[in-house]
Structure 1
Amino acid sequence: MKAQADSIGGQWMLDNLRPGMRLRAKGPGGSFSIARHPADKYLFISAGSGITPMMSMTTQLYDSGRDPDIVFVNCVRRPSEIIFRERVERMASRATGIDLKWVVEETDRYKPWTGYRGMFNQLMLGLMAPDYLEREVFCCGPAPFMQAVREALTGLGYDMNRYHQESFHAPLPETEAVPGDVFPDERVDVVVEFASSGVTAECTETDTILGAARAAGLALPSGCTMGSCKIRKTRGEVHMVHNAGITDEDVARGYILACCSNPVGRVTVEA
């Protein structure tokens, strides 16, 4: 058990619980389950303890007796923090259809690491699961991590109706607002104007600028969609989550990454 800086329940448990105390716990709930979204091929993407439901769903498929088709991605700070590593690797060693991909930010001292290193991004996704467009995606982890995964998939043209996510964070009360927090809403229609091309595209807040451009028939430079799609915004606001693909100086000058930016209201860009 560990508590983040803004933890409520976890910090209370660390401060108050002692060996021998009893807790009353409820069973799992919600709709984050392969039982509700059956598919032939899955892509499980998680960070930290978000591996927990992925391990459960993988175990269910493994115990069914058939060889599943799962690309299993888990991102952590260092290899020693991978939860359920031995258990998941044991299943993968007995089923050819469980493909494990561990991603770490840094290595443990005196322990060689030959897997992926860095922050999960679109380039990694293409290497880990080249057929990601054919897979049902389940994602679980911290809110910024899941936002980055959503934007990576959207920028690559993935059908987000096949994307499912779960968070361990309790929802905020409806009366409590968090200043400065902006979350794209798929129910809100917006307009993106591409000034140089004279094209105006209608989309929703959960669409990226790059996605809106492609839908409107514009071929913006994108490359690997991890930094080469930098364009200048001249009006409006965007919600941008990126993996260091743009400098603070460029952001201050009005530049954004089209693949990682969601329009908030009407937005005009030089493209």
Structure 2
Amino acid sequence: MHDAESSFSNPGTWESAGRVWASGEQQTLTCCRVTNETHDVKTFEFRVGDGMPVRFEPGQFMTISANVHGQSVERCYTISSPPTRPYLVSITVKRVPGGVMSNWLHDHMHPGSHLRAYGPSGTFTSTAAAPTKSLYLSAGSGVTPLMSMTRASIDLGLDRDVVFVHSARTPADIVFRKELHQLTEKSPRFHTFFICEGVGDEADWTGPTGRLSLQQLAAWIPDYAEREVFTCGPAGYMHAVREILREGGHDPSHYHQESFDITAGVAPEPIHEEEPVTQETFTVTLSRSSRAFKMNASETVLSAARKAGVAIPSSCSQGVCGTCKTKLLEGTVDMQHNGGIREREIQKGFRLLCCSRPTSDLILEL
């Protein structure tokens, strides 16, 4: 039987519903609607470029670019809308104390406002497999990619066996709380559970309080060990979830997590102080623009490109998110990634520029 959701990752079947927006291509986004989800979380809905529908996979993210206080700032945010509604794409953003982009969006993004964005990217998506039973685990803003997956599945009438467990600080901090309840009524095999650290101002909260434990997970979902698990949230939460599942005997090969902290934006590039500075230099040539720049062998290609004024989409700068994935046409690099690229992509010549240091002159497909 043909699975409609697989159409998202199959250009031949989904082409009529939207065009490919390459991850390295910038488009102008026009804000159409702003929705207050909680006291510090807003959803921003955008129309893309010429208004044509856009194809992406549920769980992918966009890298947005804006001029904030006179400086160009880039951050990546998961698309919270589903690809089944391709004429608008939305991001759901929590206001973070000291967060440059999150505060700017909350304070300045209104219907009619514009910003620039790179196309959808990322491999954290439910379309990579079609499990018979899934378990979605999220905390805080980590709900967004799993919400895109949920909305897409229910829009398509797939009626999959999915259990969605979300952790929040208080009941008032549960993002998409009302909609998630409504979605359980639309899909009989979709179930939700919430756990909050405290009750906050909602004294009549009847749900559990504290943090997710193996005992609570087993009580809610006795067959959790048989499910394909997708999880997203702060790094500490994802580490705790992995430990809970490991203790409970869940097979790690059926575990998937978003590979960057979506609440933190762009992480600084790691500094390898223990590495001696090498004076060897190489030339990097960009095949499409015929631009070229020199770089030191101790630098990452991404860092050197930025210094040379070359705009390359990036996010985590630690080899985990895959945003800066670029094809290497000629030359060799030393790439020390952290899971942001697949072996078959490496075999095809792709490299993550944020964690690649040159060992020869390079020609990049840029």
Q: Same fold (TM over 0.5)?
A: yes
Structure 1 match to 2:198? 106
Is 1:31 the counterpart of 2:123 in the alignment? Answer: yes
**Superposition pairs for residues 1-271 of structure 1, below 5 Å?**
1=41, 2-5=94-97, 7-13=99-105, 17=108, 19=110, 21-109=113-201, 111-166=203-258, 167=260, 168=262, 169=264, 170-175=266-271
Change (3 A) 1:110 1:33: closer
Q: Give the number of equivalent residue pairs.
A: 176
Q: Give the CA deviation at 1:122.
A: 1.3
Report Cα offsets for 1:90-136 as digits up to 9, x if no partner: 11012111111011111143541111211111111111211111100
Q: Give the CA deviation at 1:5.
A: 4.2
Q: Give the CA deviation at 1:172.
A: 3.7
Q: Give the CA deviation at 1:174.
A: 3.3
Q: Give the CA deviation at 1:81.
A: 1.4
Between the aligned partners of 1:156 and 1:74, the Cα distance in structure 2 is 19
Q: Contact 1:79 / 1:104 at 8 angstroms: preserved in 2?
A: yes
Q: Give the CA deviation at 1:64.
A: 2.0
Between the aligned partners of 1:165 and 1:132, the Cα distance in structure 2 is 16
In the alignment, residue 270 of structure 2 is paired with which amino acid?
A: E
Q: Contact 2:154 / 2:186 at 8 angstroms: preserved in 1?
A: no
TM-score in terms of structure 1 length: 0.59
Change (3 A) 1:39 1:110: closer
Q: Contact 2:171 / 2:202 at 8 angstroms: preserved in 1?
A: no
Between the aligned partners of 2:162 and 2:240, the Cα distance in structure 1 is 21
Gaps of 5+ in 2: 1-40, 42-93, 274-366
Structure 2 match to 1:251? none
CA RMSD of aligned residues (A): 2.2
Q: Contact 2:138 / 2:166 at 8 angstroms: preserved in 1?
A: yes
Report Cα offsets for 1:46-77 as digits up to 9, x if no partner: 00111111111111111222321011001111
SS of 2:120's equivalent in the other structure is: coil
In the alignment, residue 198 of structure 2 is paired with which amino acid?
A: E
SS of 1:24's equivalent in the other structure is: strand
Structure 2 match to 1:227? none
Q: Contact 1:101 / 1:116 at 8 angstroms: preserved in 2?
A: no
Q: Give the CA deviation at 1:26.
A: 3.3
Between the aligned partners of 2:104 and 2:192, the Cα distance in structure 1 is 34
SS of 2:121's equivalent in the other structure is: coil
Report Cα offsets for 1:238-264 as digits up to 9, x if no partner: xxxxxxxxxxxxxxxxxxxxxxxxxxx
Q: Contact 1:71 / 1:128 at 8 angstroms: preserved in 2?
A: no
In the alignment, residue 78 of structure 1 is paired with which amino acid?
A: T
Q: Contact 1:133 / 1:158 at 8 angstroms: preserved in 2?
A: yes
